[in-house]
Every structure is written in structure tokens, then in C-alpha cells.
Amino acid sequence: MKDTEGKKTSNKNIVWPDYADAVLILEDGSIFFGNGIGVEGTTSGEACFNTSMTGYQEIITDPSYCGQIIVFTFPHIGNVGTNALDCEADNNFSHGVIVGEVPTLSSNWRSSYSLHNWLEQKSSTGIANIDTRALTKHIREHGVQNALIYFNKENKVPLDTLFDELAKTPNMNGQDLAKVVSCKTPYTWHEERMDITSNTYKNSTALDTSPHIVVVDFGVKKNILREISHLGCRITVVPCTYSADKILSLQPDGVFLSNGPGDPMATSIYVVPVVKELLNSGIPIFGICLGHQILAIALGAKTEKMQFGHRGGNHPVKNLKTTKVEITSQNHGFCVLTSTLPDTVEETHVSLFDGTNEGLEILDKNVFSVQYHPEASPGPQDSTYLFQQFWEHILCYKTQKAAA
């Protein structure tokens, strides 16, 4: 809380209301009391808002949210429950959730657990009965900032103690979180899109002779792997620290740079030299989100932190090559600075919200990337052509290699 001069006031005299068993505090001194969901405990991270109306389970399990607390602007979070098939990662890397209302009993034929019980299973802490509209407006006006959720039904600790704890939370700038969420050893992927009639994912039909794609894992979502697999490709997923020599030894017909969390400049310290070698190899490259930013940095561009980022399922993006507008799903807090792109790189997509860069392509190579998430069914199929474009680049590369 703040006085009229904008300075933080002491929190020693602030009394917890009787109804509250949880509290959310922001680093600027703002305080929101509410009711806890998930496991009791304390969690902190960068508070950011997501405007999606559906897909809360996929959002919470997206590795790109590592180090962040998610503010859901849609009021009915938890209404369709959770299930074992909709997770984008096996672990929950997000640092907490904030919802407007306590989740109701779930109602959906695919539901196995309520959101509350599922969060407990994932050892995740959240808070409900928060004015998320006011909180979102606050973040829009003042920018994303670190926050802390404290949930304990028996012990309401002094708020000054919590603010001291919040002060230890690192800023997102300079954080290399890809190493936290990336796989530790390589693995193969054998799953395609879901068969709606059976409510299961199809097994891959790729053959030993099918194109081989190496996915560099900065925090890859499962649905990205399914979309690539659906093209008919064999997939090997490798850690983000893999060297160019190791990647090339796998004899890929294409390399995919995945999404992921953290500051791209920090992550790129050990990745940029690898990407530069891959660019020189002539192998087709496709990047999404953090992969897009890392590719841009390898090409000589720069990135910057955004005030509150792009996170939601309704972001309009203009394809500058076709002039068509795509409705996209997005989740990023950094962006590529268009003015820093070299002349050899073409900007292919821009955000119609703020004009920031949303895509690029190297004019003389089979290399391209986008800032948004085409695998997340935005539009719902506005952006699926990007995977087909990657496939066509792969076939072209294989033809050229066979003729050489």
C-alpha cells in the first residue's frame, strides 16, 4: 500500500481480514487479500496477465511461464476441470496462479480432477477471490513486476516479513531459465495430433526414411512436437546446451528452435554460436517464440523487455507477405527490435496491437521464425501454414542434398 506521495507505508499495522487465508503482494507495495487454492505455501515470481478464455491447463503447464505468476483475466477458470492429456509439459514450471473466483466444481466429460486438486498434485500454489480486472489494469499501467503469494490457513504472518521475502526474488531481466526447463538428455518423440473420437493422441507414422528434425529444447511445448510429427517427420529432442557438432552428427533435415522462458539475451550466450554454425550449414531452421528471438540475435538483431508483454489467444498479426491478418496465440515478455534487423533479413509479420515484430525470414535461405504460437490453434487454424512451410523447406533441402 502507498501513501499520497507514492511512498511505501509500513505494513505492520495492516490487519488481515477474517475471510482471507492468502495474500498477494507486489514489489511496488500493492496488497490483495484473497483465498488460497492448490497447496499451502509461499511462491514468488514475475506477475503477468493472460487474456485467454480457454486453455488454462495448457497455459499453466507451458514451460515458458517458468519464473512467472499467471494472472488470468477470464473469470471462469477451472470450470472444465483438468485431465492427463492437456498438459504441455510433465512438470508445472509456472510459479503460481491468480484467478478472480474460487474454481467451481468442474463439468466436462474429459475432466479427471478439479483445478484445485490438480494444483495440489502439481505442488502449485494460487490465490482466488482477487479483483483481477484491477490487478490487470495495474500491470498494464505500471508494467510487469515481481509478486508473492502467501497461502496458509492457520498462520497469518506479518506483511513486512513477506515483503522482505519478495525482495529476494530475482528480476526477469538477465535470467537464463531455458536450462531450468530443458530436457537433460536427448529423446525421440512418437506422438501426433489427438484423435477426437477416441480422446487419445495418435502414434507417429514416421518411417526410418522420413525427414529427421532435431528440436533444440528451450522449454518446448508438447503440441509443437505433435504438429511437427504430424508432418510425417522423425523427431529428436536435444538439450538447449547441445553443441552444433552434436546436432549436425544427428544428420537432421531440419532444425527447430523451440519456445522457452527467460531473457533471450542471457540464454543466447551459449546458443548464438550454435545457431550461427547451423545457419552456415544450410539446414532449414524454424523458430517459435524464444527460438525466434534467439535466431534474431544470431542474425545480429537485439531484443528488449516489454512493459507487460503479449499473452493471450486473440492477438491480431499481419502477414506482410500476404497482407492477411491472423488471430494468434502469444506468450512473450521480450520482443525483437525491428530497427536492428540486418538488411539480409525480411520482417514477415507485425503485431496490430503495438507494431512490434512477429516474424522474420532470411531472404536467401530456408530459415524463418515467428514470435507467436501457431501450434496453439489460434484462429483456430490461421497459422498452421507455418508448419507446412517448414515441411516444404525440408523437402527442398533433401532434394538439393540428394542432387549434390
CA 49 remoteness from chain centre: 12
How far is Cα 92 from Cα 134, in angstroms, rounded to an integer?
Answer: 27
Residues 210 and 330 in one domain: yes
**Residue 220, domain CATH:** 3.40.50.880
Active site residue 95: no
Residue 171 in any domain: the answer is: no
pLDDT reported for residue 364: 86
Give yes or no for a contact between 189 and 204, defined as CB atoms under 8 angstroms apart: yes
How many domains is the chain built from? 2
- The CA distances from residue 193 to 16, 154, 300, in Å, are 48, 45, 36
Task: Single out the residue in 166, 189, 218 at which a domain terminates.
Answer: 166
Are 121 and 97 in contact by the 8 Å Cβ rule? The answer is: no
Instruction: Give the residue from 292, 327, 333 showing the smallest Cα distance to 313.
Output: 327
Bridge partners, 285 (sequence order): 255, 367
Q: 79 and 120, same structural domain?
A: yes
What pLDDT digit, counting tens, does each position of 69-83 carry?
999 999 999 999 999
> Which has the closest alpha carbon to 366: 397, 344, 345, 404?
397
Query: Using 50, 70 and 90 to split pLDDT, how confident is the model at 11?
Result: low
C-alpha to C-alpha distance for 298 and 290, rounded to whole angstroms: 12
At which of 134, 166, 198 does a domain end? 166
The residue from 88, 192, 326, 375 that is catalytic is 375
The Cα-based distances of 329 to 61, 358, 371 in angstroms read 15, 12, 10
State the distance between the two ends of the chain, measured CA to CA, in whole angstroms.
68
Instruction: Give whole-number Cα distances, 383 to 43, 256, 259, 328, in Å.
Output: 35, 17, 16, 7
The answer to whether 58 and 172 are in contact (CB under 8 A) is: no
Q: Are residues 125 and 183 in the same domain?
A: no
**Integer Cα distance of 93 and 219 in angstroms:** 10
DSSP state of 63: G
Amino acid letter for position 90: D
The pLDDT score that the predictor gives to residue 4 is 28
**Are 329 and 191 part of one and the same domain?**
yes
Other Cβ atoms closer than 10 A to 306: 16
Q: Work out the angle between the directed axes of helices 385-403 and 222-230 (0-180°, nearest 10).
A: 50
Burial of 44 (0-12, 13-18, 19+ CB in 10 A): buried
Whether 230 is a known active-site residue: answer: no
Q: Do the domain assignments include residue 309?
A: yes
Q: Note whether 108 and 38 are same-domain residues.
A: yes
* Residue among 116, 292, 349, 373 flagged as catalytic: 373
Whether residue 31 is contained in a domain is answered as: yes
Same domain, 199 and 260: yes
Write the DSSP assignment of 53-69 as a string of letters.
SS-HHHHHT-GGGBTEE
Residues 241 and 353 both lie in one domain: yes
Instruction: Name 401's Cβ contacts closer than 8 Å, sequence gap at least 6.
Output: none
Domain for residue 8, yes or no? no
Specify if 15 maps to a domain. no
CATH number at residue 91: 3.50.30.20
Look up 292 and say whether it is catalytic. Answer: no
* Domain identity same for 227 and 157: no
- Average pLDDT taken over every residue of the chain: 94
Please say which residue of 143, 166, 189 terminates a domain. Answer: 166
pLDDT tier at 231, thresholds 50, 70, 90:
very high
Residue 317: which domain range?
178-403
The DSSP secondary-structure symbol of 285 reads: E
The residues facing 50 across adjacent strands are 72
Of 167-181, 196-210, 321-335, the least confident: 196-210
Kindly state whether residues 349 and 260 are assigned to the same domain: yes
Q: Are residues 212 and 139 in the same domain?
A: no
Q: Is the per-residue pLDDT at 244 higher than 60? A: yes
Catalytic residue among 116, 289, 315, 326: 289
Rounded Cα distance between 341 and 348, Å, is: 12
| pLDDT > 50? residue 3 | no
Give the closest residue to 360 by CA, choosing from 257, 244, 215. Answer: 257
Q: Which residues have a Cβ under 8 Å from the Cβ of 164 and sit 6 or more positions away?
A: none
Residues in a beta bridge with 350 = 318, 357
Mean pLDDT of 361-379: 93
**Residue 391 domain-assigned (yes or no):** yes
Q: Is residue 184 within 8 Å of residue 239, measured between CB atoms?
A: yes
114 and 254 both lie in a single domain: no
The reported pLDDT for the residue numbered 105 is 85
List beta partners, residue 187.
237
Predicted local distance difference test score (pLDDT) of residue 176:
97
Asked if the structure places residue 122 within a domain, the reply is: yes
Asked if the structure places residue 270 within a domain, the reply is yes
pLDDT tens digit sequence for 326-353 = 999 999 999 999 999 999 999 999 999 9
Residues 297 and 395 in one domain: yes
